[in-house]
Every structure is written in C-alpha cells, then in structure tokens.
C-alpha cells in the first residue's frame, strides 16, 4: 500500500535521476469534443455518458482547425470524447484536418456506429481515410459487458464486421483495438495479448485488425470512485507506484501532445484535462496561441495519477510504452 509521500510523482522522478517533465515540440493535438456518449463505462476517466451535455461549439472547433493550420510541426489531430461522433462539429473537424494534409485519429467506442441516425459513419470514416482506435476491453462477451453494459460486446462485433467490410484492418485503412483491464490490475504484456485477440476474433467472428493497444485504468473520475467504493483505492495506487518504470518516461504522450478541452482550454494531457489541472506552460486556451510549437520546452503539470502512465510497460494513447 502506498503512503502519501510515495505518491509525489515529481519526487519519484528525482529519485531515479530524471528531470521534471517538459514538452518537446508537439506533433499531436488531441481534442476532446465533449462528454456526451451512448455508453457509460465503469472505467471511464471522462465520466462520459448519455446524459452529459458538455460539447464543443462550432466556434471552438473552428479555432482548433485554425491552430492546427498554424502549427506546421503537428502531424496528427486526435479526436476523442465521449463519443466524438455525437458532436455536430465532428465531421467538420475531420474534413478540414484532412484537407490540411494531417492524419486524423478517431477514438471510437464501436457501438456509436449502430446508433439511430449514425448510419453514415462507417462510409464517412472510409472516405476520410481516418485511423480508428476502437475500444474493445476483451474478446469475450462476459468481460466486455461487465465493463461496458449488457449487449455491448455483440454490438461491437457487428460494428467491427462493418468496418472490416469497409476495408479497415485489411492493410489500407487502419483499425486498432484498445484493451483495458476490467478491474484494479495492470494490463498483461501487449504483444502476447494481441495474439490472443487476433486468434479469438478471427476464429470466432472472422474479424481482423491492425494492432492491439493496452491501456492502464487511470485512478481518476468514475474508476477512482469505483475503487473508493470497493475500498481498493490505496491498494491500486500502491500497485501503480510499486511498478513505476523509469524506462517509460521519455515516451510519455504528454511530451509530444497538447490536449484541448471542449471549452477550448489547453492541458498537458487528456487525464489532466479531466482533473482540470491547467497546462504547465503560459498559454491557457487555444485563443492564447497560434502555433502550438511555441509550447516546446514548457513544464508539464504532473500528479499522482501519472503513475498510471508509468507503471509496468507504461500506458499512453498509443498503448504500452516500454
């Protein structure tokens, strides 16, 4: 069990001879367009759900595109939510970012493609040549439904078959899947689990994909409340602290990414955004800066939740780090 003094992330870095985190020139702008989602997953660090009303306005979305255009070193717009597709400005963000020649990643929960009125999505993904990062917590129905709700696994399989039929996961259009543990544990080795996913999904459902990304559940928002209710919060934090891996630090996503909240505020990462921890640098909103490259060298705000990204093989929006 971790004691309070052990939860100082900055002090842990110092004990390992690692300097306080600072940002390199950002290559990714990650934008959270709001908290509305057709699911309400137990692990969700955004606390998203069907009743949430927070959403990015057209004016803010247009400013995101303006900043992207003025930031030549940014190669990727990474769009997340909630279910980002439920924001009315989603298609505009994708189309204009692609028109600028930038890669677009869409973080999709799969079942949103089956919602009434969303029948256009799969073809839109295909025409826009987006890269999809799709949540599928397990290759079995029991574990997936336990985390995401009854019937979600079956709907996810339907959605994945539609994506495969549209060409995703078959060599031209990228389809990555995301695993996160059902409970208070670290993910297993990513490469080994990927082979299990690949075999089970192909054998049982004829589904193919490009990569599996393993992500550690972050001890914030809904998952933190779940841990506290079960009396497991201290034990989980101890697990993360005791598995701190200094080899993960150089490749942490906050080193090369700027996070934009649905209001236009800037953050060091999506997790800091949910905790409302301001950007470590001087700029506070996307109206305060044009080229996010000017944030290079700025300090990165950290906290005890950062142990979630540095435990074991590490965790990021791109999966395991080390």
Q: Render each residue's pLDDT in the chain as its tens digit; 322 residues.
A: 444 445 799 999 999 999 999 999 999 999 999 999 988 876 777 788 889 999 999 999 999 999 999 999 999 999 999 999 999 999 999 999 999 999 999 999 999 999 999 999 999 999 999 999 999 989 999 988 888 888 999 999 999 999 999 999 998 899 999 999 988 899 999 999 999 999 999 999 999 999 999 999 999 888 888 889 999 999 999 999 999 999 999 999 999 999 999 999 999 999 999 999 988 766 799 999 999 999 999 999 999 999 999 999 999 989 999 9
Residue 193 falls inside a structural domain: yes
Strands of 28-32's sheet in order across: 211-214, 175-179, 131-135, 103-108, 76-80, 28-32, 257-260, 266-267
Partners of 168 in the beta sheet? Answer: 173
**DSSP characters over 22-75:** B--S--EEEEE-BSB-S---TT-SS--BTT---B--HHHHHHHHHHHHT-TT--
Residue 245 and residue 198 in contact, taking contact as beta carbons nearer than 8 Å: no
**What pLDDT, on the 0 to 100 scale, is given for residue 282?**
65
The answer as to whether 93 is a domain residue is: yes
Q: What is the pLDDT at residue 221? A: 82
CATH number of the domain bearing residue 212: 3.20.20.70
Q: What is the pLDDT of residue 6?
A: 59
Residue 247 forms part of a structural domain: no
In a domain, 122, yes or no: yes
Q: What is the pTM of this model?
A: 0.95
Does residue 16 lie in a domain region? no
Long-range CB pairs of 127-130, under 8 A, 24+ apart, other chains included:
128/94, 128/95, 128/98, 128/104, 129/98, 129/173, 130/94, 130/98, 130/104, 130/105, 130/106
Q: Is residue 178 part of a domain?
A: yes
For residue 6, being part of any structural domain is answered with no
Which domain does 90 fall in, by range? Answer: 24-218+252-299
Q: How many CB atoms lie within 10 A of CB 106?
A: 23
Q: What pLDDT, on the 0 to 100 scale, is given for residue 5?
A: 45
Is residue 223 in a domain?
A: no
Question: What distance lies between CA 131 and its chain's CA centroid?
Answer: 13
Predicted local distance difference test score (pLDDT) of residue 281: 63
Query: Number of structural domains, the chain?
Result: 1
């Amino acid at each position: 069990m971790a004691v309070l003094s052990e939860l100082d992330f900055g002090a842990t870095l110092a004990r390992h001879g690692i300097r306080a985190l600072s940002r390199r020139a950002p290559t990714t702008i990650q934008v959270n367009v709001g908290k509305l989602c057709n699911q309400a997953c137990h692990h969700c660090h955004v606390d998203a759900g069907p009743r949430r009303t927070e959403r990015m306005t057209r004016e803010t979305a247009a400013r995101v595109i303006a900043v992207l255009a003025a930031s030549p070193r940014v190669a990727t717009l990474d769009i997340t939510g909630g279910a980002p597709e439920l924001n009315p400005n989603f298609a505009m963000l994708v189309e204009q970012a692609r028109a600028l020649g930038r890669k677009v990643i869409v973080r999709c929960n799969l079942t949103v493609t089956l919602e009434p009125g969303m029948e256009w999505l799969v073809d839109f993904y295909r025409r826009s040549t987006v890269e999809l990062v799709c949540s599928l917590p397990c290759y079995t129905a029991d574990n997936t439904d336990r985390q995401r709700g009854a019937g979600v696994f079956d709907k996810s399989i339907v959605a994945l078959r539609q994506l495969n039929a549209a060409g995703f996961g078959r060599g031209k259009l990228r389809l990555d899947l995301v695993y996160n543990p059902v409970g208070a544990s670290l993910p297993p080795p990513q490469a080994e689990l990927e082979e299990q996913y690949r075999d089970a999904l192909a054998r049982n459902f004829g589904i193919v994909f490009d990569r599996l990304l393993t992500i550690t559940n972050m001890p914030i928002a809904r998952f933190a409340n779940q841990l506290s209710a079960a009396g497991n919060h201290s034990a989980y934090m101890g697990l993360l602290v005791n598995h701190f891996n200094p080899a993960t630090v150089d490749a942490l996503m906050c080193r090369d990414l700027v996070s934009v909240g649905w209001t236009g505020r800037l953050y060091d990462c999506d997790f800091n955004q949910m905790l409302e921890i301001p950007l470590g640098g001087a700029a506070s909103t996307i109206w305060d800066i044009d080229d996010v490259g000017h944030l290079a060298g700025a300090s990165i705000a950290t906290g005890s939740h950062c142990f979630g990204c540095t435990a074991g093989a590490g965790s990021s929006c791109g999966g395991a780090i080390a």
